[in-house]
């Protein structure tokens, strides 16, 4: 791969593929050669699916989830509980929570976490629209489902301060030992928190 | 990921990505979300690099290597030794040999190996054009650099029979213990061959 490839166009495609997260130059070459060797129809279908997605996929006006309409499939689903808003960092966390099948409320996609190191401030996130939604009388609770990192905690605290004037219950996800985890291998911070936040044992 | 994605177009792009070798649905989603979140210019540059490559990259008329011109960069390089032809399965093996920097002859890309199981016969490979090249008086040697599998051996033997009427020396790559390998972990077949094909020790 240190050698020059026999075509500048091939090389360009490899460079583009290698920009994707987790794709190195070797993998990029393997993928590009695959695309080069399949039929024209298949390769164009691949490229066009990306162009179409980029051109037509928008974000939901309400929760900033990915959508092809003005409002996303979750916001426009009449069976969802409109009084609950779950605040997530990105669509990845939204999909992860959806796949549990345990949550039937709505979402609010922030589009990141406050991170001064990466130059991301509160103005870069969808916090103003969250505040507007929180002012709606229908809302009974806002669940902060950000990761337990410094950035996640900072963002949680910023939102808490921002929504302080509105009387609305805020909650975060329960932290504790993962289901199926061995106690001896659990890190001390998680174990410590799980002792402090212990729950009553109900005999089942 | 078992859940429906919030957009059919997003889903389509994920399906297309998941068709690539070694890319599962989860990785596909990660890559597609990356493309969705970057700028329009960057995503279109990605898709267009694939379309351009597929539209413009041809194969060399002489050796079937990838090329943008009638003849590839190796075939049209006056510094290469035109009397040597190294027969490889695909461009991947060509690039691997090129990266060693040890070979200065030309190539011949077969485009596969004879494999009745996969329905690939001699007619599907660039063997006729190899025969034509072999008839050229300039050619001093043909190196068969196919992998040591059943299919590779079958293809070697087919080429050997095909070129039998032309008096031209054929050779294959040396087989033996990999440089840096421990003897005790070498498989028996490789070790056996390396004893049979032992080479004189020249004191260095």
What are the tens digits of pLDDT across the range A64-94?
Answer: 999 999 999 999 999 999 999 999 999 988 9
CA dihedral A39, A44, A45, A48 (to 10 degrees): 170
Provide mean pLDDT across the span A10-31.
94
Give the nearest partner residue to A68 out of B2, B9, B31, using CB atoms: B9
Contact A46, A103 (CB under 8 A): no
B90: nearest CA partner in chain A:
A33
Which helix (H) or strand (E) segment holds residue A136: the answer is none
Q: How confident is the model at residue A1 (pLDDT cuts 50, 70, 90)?
A: very low
Inter-chain touch B16–A49, beta carbons under 8 Å: yes
Interface contact flag, A46 B19, Cβ < 8 Å: yes
% of residues, chain B, pLDDT over 70 = 97
Which residue from B19, B41, A117 is spatially nearest to B31, judged by alpha carbons? Answer: B19
- Range(s) of chain B covered by CATH 1.10.8.420: 8-56
Using CB atoms, pick whichever of B1, B16, B36 lies closest to residue A99.
B1
- DSSP 8-class letter at A70: S
Compare all CA atoms of chain B with the CA of A111 and give the residue at the minimum distance.
B37
Rounded distance between C-alpha atoms, residue B53 and residue B35, angstroms: 19
pLDDT per position in chain B (204 positions), as tens? Answer: 445 788 889 999 999 999 999 999 999 999 999 999 899 999 999 999 999 999 999 999 999 999 999 999 999 999 999 999 999 999 988 988 888 888 899 999 999 999 999 899 999 999 999 999 999 888 999 999 988 888 999 999 999 999 988 888 999 888 787 877 777 787 888 888 877 887 776 665
**What whole-number percentage of chain A has pLDDT above 70?**
97
Yes or no, beta carbons of A91 and B6 under 8 Å apart: yes
User: Could you give the angle at which helices A25-37 and B40-56 cross, rounded to 10 degrees?
Assistant: 50
Q: What is the pLDDT of residue B3?
A: 55
Residue A204's pLDDT is 58
Listed in order, the ranges of chain A carrying CATH 3.40.1360.10 are 66-172
pTM (two decimals): 0.77
User: In this prediction, what percent of chain A has a pLDDT beyond 90?
Assistant: 61
Q: Is the pLDDT of residue A3 over 60?
A: no
Residue of A12, A65, A73 with shortest CB distance to B49: A12
pLDDT tens for A144-192 read 998 888 899 999 999 999 998 888 899 988 878 787 777 778 788 888 8
How far apart CA A24 and CA A15 sit, in angstroms, is: 9
Q: Lowest mean pLDDT: which of A2-11, A117-126, B21-30, B32-41? A: A2-11
Q: Which CATH class is domain B8-56?
A: mainly alpha
- What residues of chain B lie within 8 A of the CB of A74, using their CB? 6
Residues B66-172, CATH architecture: 3-Layer(aba) Sandwich (3.40)
Residues in contact with A136: Cβ distance below 8 Å, sequence separation at least 6, in sequence order: none
Q: Do A57 and B9 touch (CB under 8 A)?
A: yes
């Amino acid at each position: 791969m240190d050698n020059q490839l026999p075509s500048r166009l091939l090389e360009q495609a490899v460079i583009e593929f290698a920009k994707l997260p987790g794709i190195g130059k070797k993998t990029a070459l393997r993928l590009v050669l695959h695309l080069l060797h399949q039929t024209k129809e298949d390769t164009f279908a691949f490229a066009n699916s990306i162009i179409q997605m980029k051109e037509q996929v928008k974000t939901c006006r309400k929760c900033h989830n990915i959508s092809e309409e003005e409002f996303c499939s979750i916001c426009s689903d009449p069976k969802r509980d409109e009084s609950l808003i779950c605040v997530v960092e990105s669509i990845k966390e939204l999909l992860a929570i959806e796949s549990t099948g345990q949550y039937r409320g709505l979402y609010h996609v922030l589009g990141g976490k406050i991170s001064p190191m990466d130059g991301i401030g509160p103005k870069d996130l969808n916090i103003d629209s969250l505040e507007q939604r929180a002012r709606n009388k229908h809302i009974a609770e806002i669940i902060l489902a950000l990761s337990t990192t410094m950035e996640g905690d900072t963002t949680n605290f910023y939102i808490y301060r921002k929504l302080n004037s509105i009387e609305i219950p805020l909650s975060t996800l329960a932290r504790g030992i993962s289901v199926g985890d061995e106690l001896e291998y659990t890190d001390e911070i998680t174990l410590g928190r799980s002792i402090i936040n212990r729950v009553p044992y109900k005999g089942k």
